[in-house]
């Protein structure tokens, strides 16, 4: 069972100030969602992979998320074929965009109409692999942030800098970060107990596979609901209901942290603005 939670390692990302981590990951994700041109997207994705590798994120996390990303991409592909038009493209020549590669349905087809893969749709689909809530880019940056950012450290920083509603935000962060770890441990126990009872889902027929998974639906659903209550109550007991919390450690930005923040934020703003106005740098 994949346990998606923070774990300390001796890496530069783990040693960074929590605010610096949020700024780096947030800025990279913002630019990644703004750009569509593969000449810009692929180098940025390479940088994300380097940060993920240097942070020593477990590889099995990727094996867990990639199938989910692939499903989301296939669903998006169907929407693209149904709604794609030349107005999506601001930079690429429309003559090249409409060039047909493979015809799926001929013109005049009832209900679905004409559908084909063009250079434009193909370029869009490849770019969409690195964009969206379930994209490879979000998976890499998200797992890097979860693995390197201690939720307790972030809560202490919020309280230290007297962020508005810091107490409420701290509670929400602690509960959210703890929920996935507690839930995965509980699900691991459920799966192991069912395996010991002879349960298996290794069936090629999808209908039989769904029927075989039926015994797991109730215990998993019950565990999700009870885990929400357990995490909420346990998090609230940890001083969130006893008064104003106080940080146990004072976090100070180092010179490197300040340089990174001062450099990354303006570069992100410039990249986003250049993608929004002619000549639409980074767009397609």
pLDDT given for residue 263 in this prediction: 96
Least confident among 83-87, 160-164, 179-183 = 83-87
CB 126 within 8 A of CB 52: no
CA neighbor of 64 nearest in space, from 7, 4, 6: 4
Place of tokens 């410039």: 270
pLDDT given for residue 204 in this prediction: 61
Cα angle for residues 141, 127, 56 (degrees, 5° grid): 25
Q: Does residue 25 register a pLDDT over 90?
A: yes
**How many other CB atoms are there within 10 angstroms of residue 125's CB atom?**
17
Higher pLDDT, 95 or 81: 95
Q: Compute the mean pLDDT over every residue in the chain, rounded to the nearest whole number.
A: 82
Cis peptide before 279 (omega within 30 of 0): yes
Average pLDDT over residues 38-66: 89
pLDDT band, residue 42 (cuts 50/70/90): very high
Q: Does residue 158 register a pLDDT over 80?
A: yes
pLDDT band, residue 83 (cuts 50/70/90): low
Average pLDDT over residues 144-160: 87
Average pLDDT over residues 229-235: 78
Q: What is the pLDDT of residues 189-223, one digit of tens each?
A: 887 887 787 776 665 666 666 676 677 777 888 88
Helix intervals (H) in the chain:
12-15, 18-34, 38-54, 59-83, 94-97, 119-128, 136-148, 151-160, 166-196, 206-235, 255-276
Domain boundaries, the chain: 1-149+253-284
pLDDT given for residue 151 in this prediction: 82
Distance CA 48, CA 26 (A): 12
pLDDT band, residue 21 (cuts 50/70/90): very high
CB 34 within 8 A of CB 271: yes
| Max Cα distance, the chain (Å) | 69
Distance CA 63, CA 221 (A): 24
**pTM summary value:** 0.75
Cβ neighbours of residue 191 closer than 8 Å, sequence gap 6 or more: 1, 216
Pairing relationship of beta strands 100-105 and 115-118 according to DSSP bridges: antiparallel
């Amino acid at each position: 069972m994949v346990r998606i939670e923070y774990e300390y390692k001796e890496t530069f990302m783990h040693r960074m100030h929590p605010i610096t981590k949020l700024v780096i990951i947030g800025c990279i994700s913002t630019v990644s969602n703004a750009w569509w041109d593969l000449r810009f997207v692929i180098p940025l994705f390479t940088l994300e992979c380097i940060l993920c590798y240097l942070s020593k994120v477990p590889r099995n996390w990727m094996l867990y998320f990639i199938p989910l990303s692939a499903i989301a991409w296939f669903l998006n592909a169907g929407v693209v074929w149904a709604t794609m038009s030349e107005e999506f493209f601001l930079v690429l020549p429309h003559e090249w965009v409409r060039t047909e590669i493979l015809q799926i349905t001929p013109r005049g087809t009832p209900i679905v109409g004409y559908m084909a893969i063009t250079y434009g749709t193909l370029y869009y689909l490849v770019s969409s692999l690195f964009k969206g809530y379930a994209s490879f880019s979000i998976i890499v940056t998200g797992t890097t942030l979860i693995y390197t950012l201690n939720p307790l450290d972030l809560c202490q920083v919020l309280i230290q800098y007297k962020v508005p509603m810091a107490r409420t935000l701290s509670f929400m962060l602690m509960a959210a970060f703890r929920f996935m770890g507690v839930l995965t441990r509980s699900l691991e126990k459920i799966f192991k107990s069912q395996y010991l009872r002879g349960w298996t889902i290794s069936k090629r027929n999808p209908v039989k596979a769904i029927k075989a998974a039926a015994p797991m639906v109730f215990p998993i659903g019950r565990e999700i609901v009870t885990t929400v209550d357990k995490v909420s109550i346990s998090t609230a007991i940890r001083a969130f209901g006893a008064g104003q919390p106080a940080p146990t450690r004072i976090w100070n930005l180092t010179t490197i942290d300040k340089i990174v923040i001062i450099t990354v934020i303006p570069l992100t703003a410039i990249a986003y603005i250049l993608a929004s106005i002619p000549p639409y740098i980074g767009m397609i």
